[in-house]
Structure formats: structure tokens, C-alpha cells
């Protein structure tokens, strides 16, 4: 059975691929918007599910608290950039520049998760826990996908 690390890494690999494809698009074509929407919805649901099923559990352990908090704060920073990109036209000259910042920051974040956070979490969690987390992560990610637009609207109202 897959564990939480495998499921998160699978998403990260998909996100790296989408980031690369988006970077190769031009603003006037429909590919950029289509790829961006795929990336946006997947990352938003991934991050929410990851926070609820992985980071919340890591925060329960003194050895994981600082790293978990750091990662969750990075999620917020990345989310802010993604929302900013959503307000810009895809053919806006600044869109790709801002996207490059997002790509750099996101790739740094997922590399840090895979290299540092997972190593610490493996010291804290047992194998059967990480397998259970994986199932909850996938289920929560699916539920979160339906809430992405609703949450974005609520964020704009605040």
C-alpha cells in the first residue's frame, strides 16, 4: 500500500511537469489557461489535504512543529501568488514574470518537503500511520477539489 510520502511525491511530480509546460506557453494561446487551471485546482486541493492529513499530525510532535508551521506558512505565500495570477490576464506581460516567481518558490517548497520534512516525519511516524494518512489524504484531496472556488470567493470577501 502507498504511504503519504509516495502520494505527495506523485502530486509533486505532476506539478513539476505542469509548471514546465506552463512556462513554455505564450499568453495568447488557450494552452496556458488550460494548464494553469489544471495546476491551480490540483495544487489548491493538494495543499489543503496535505495540511489537514499530514501537517496537522506532524504538528502534534515537538520534533515536527517548526517544520510543519514553516511549510504551512509557505502554502499561504504560494496561495497568495496563485490568487494574484488568477486576477491577471494570461496575455498580460507581467503574468509570466510573476509565474516564474511562483514556479521557483513552489519548486523550492516541494524539494524542501521531499528532502527535509519527509526525513523528519519518518522519524516520528510509523509505517502503518503513513499508509493511513495516504488514504485520508486522497479522500480529502478529492473533497477539497470541489471547495476550491468557494474558498477563493470567501478569501476575496475578507
Mean pLDDT for 85-92 is: 90
Instruction: Please identify, in words, the CATH class of the domain defined by 4-157.
Output: mainly alpha
Cell of 5: 510520502
Please give the Cα distance from 123 to 126 (Å, whole number): 8
pLDDT of res. 153: 54
Mean pLDDT for 69-77 is: 95
Q: How many whole angstroms from its chain centre is CA 89?
A: 22
Provide the pLDDT confidence category of residue 63 given band limits of 50, 70 and 90.
Answer: confident
| Residues 128 and 40: beta-carbon distance below 8 Å | no
Domain boundaries, the chain: 4-157
Helix axes 127-145, 4-23, angle to 10 degrees: 40
| Residue 134, pLDDT above cutoff 50 | yes
pLDDT of res. 147: 79
pLDDT of res. 14: 98
Amino acid at each position: 500500500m502507498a504511504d503519504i510520502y509516495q502520494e505527495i511525491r506523485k502530486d509533486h511530480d505532476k506539478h513539476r511537469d505542469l509548471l514546465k509546460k506552463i512556462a513554455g506557453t505564450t499568453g495568447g494561446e488557450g494552452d496556458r489557461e488550460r494548464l494553469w487551471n489544471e495546476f491551480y485546482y490540483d495544487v489548491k486541493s493538494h495543499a489543503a489535504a496535505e495540511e489537514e492529513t499530514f501537517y496537522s499530525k506532524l504538528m502534534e510532535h515537538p520534533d515536527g512543529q517548526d517544520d510543519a508551521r514553516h511549510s504551512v506558512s509557505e502554502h499561504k505565500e504560494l496561495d497568495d501568488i496563485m490568487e494574484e495570477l488568477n486576477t491577471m490576464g494570461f496575455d498580460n506581460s507581467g503574468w509570466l514574470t510573476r509565474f516564474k516567481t511562483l514556479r521557483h518558490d513552489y519548486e523550492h517548497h516541494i524539494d524542501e518537503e521531499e528532502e527535509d520534512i519527509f526525513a523528519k516525519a519518518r522519524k516520528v511516524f510509523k509505517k502503518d500511520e503513513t499508509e493511513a494518512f495516504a488514504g485520508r489524504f486522497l479522500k480529502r484531496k478529492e473533497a477539497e477539489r470541489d471547495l476550491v472556488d468557494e474558498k477563493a470567493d470567501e478569501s476575496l470577501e475578507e
